[in-house]
Amino acid sequence: MRPTLLLFDVDGTLVTTGGAGRRALEQVFSACFGREDACSFALDGMTDRAIVRAGLTAIGITPTEKEIDSVLAGYVRILEAEVAKVDGSLYRLHTGIERALDVASGFAEVALGLGTGNIREGARVKLSRVGIYQRFAFGGFGCDHEDRIELLRCGARRGAEHLGVSTAECRVVVIGDTPKDVTAAHGIEAESIGVGTGRYSAAQLLAAGATAAFPDLSAPGALESLLAELH
């Protein structure tokens, strides 16, 4: 059976965080620059570095790499506190995720990883709250590259190394909730499974070019699509 790498997006795909990420961004920009409004744009599908770069540009500050690093370091500290205080009814795993991870992890040929615009520490904070960060042995993160295609490429390479094979030998599947996830999957010639658990419906994700799309991973056919070459 062909080795399979599953790269999961975080926000909107694995979890809903009750707005903790946006609030942490607003607070760090307020603390550093006195501007809570720096990131007044849709964040869906953007990498953390791209978000901070756009936020700095929006308030007239030259977005140097050093400045972006400084903002992100402050962001993670604030994110810890914001995530901890979100009510449990607002902070949750999406339907079907836990079972999908359980089933997929039962196959020795499958490697579970992250493919997310979050920097690694941001992903750790968000997923630790719901107890699944340790389920992912590797990932491609927003701290690896600002471009989503390249961070997915990093994740796929690490996943192949984890299985002890080459990337070319693997079936790579990106699971995400935005058209940007779909586009990035195309960029590394991977399959993409869209989930309508964010702002976009399954139909919209199919229209964006997803290989398959479902309302969530509990929907009929979703697990079969995720593990298509292992049955």
Give the C-alpha separation, 221 to 108, whole Å. Answer: 21
Give the DSSP letter string of 175-209: EESSHHHHHHHHHTT-EEEEETTSSS-HHHHHHTT
Q: Which helix (H) or strand (E) holds 23?
A: helix 20-33
Tokens of 231: 């049955």
Q: Which sequence spans correspond to the domains of the chain?
A: 4-17+90-230, 20-85
The pLDDT of residue 229:
74
Distance spanning both ends of the chain, measured CA to CA: 9
pLDDT at 44: 86
Query: What's the CA gap between 186 and 220, in Å, rounded?
Result: 24
- Do 227 and 104 meet the contact criterion of CB atoms below 8 Å apart? yes
55 sits in the region (left: phi over 0; alpha: psi -120 to 50; else beta) called alpha
CATH superfamily of domain region 4-17+90-230? HAD superfamily/HAD-like (3.40.50.1000)
Q: What is the pLDDT along the chain (231 residues), one digit of tens a residue?
A: 899 999 999 999 999 999 999 999 999 999 999 999 999 999 988 999 999 999 999 999 999 999 999 999 999 999 999 999 999 999 999 999 999 999 999 999 999 999 999 999 999 999 999 999 999 999 999 999 999 999 999 999 999 999 999 999 999 999 999 999 999 999 999 999 999 999 999 999 999 999 999 999 999 999 999 998 775
Residue with tokens 């603390």: 31
Round to whole Å and give the CA distance between 112 and 97: 12
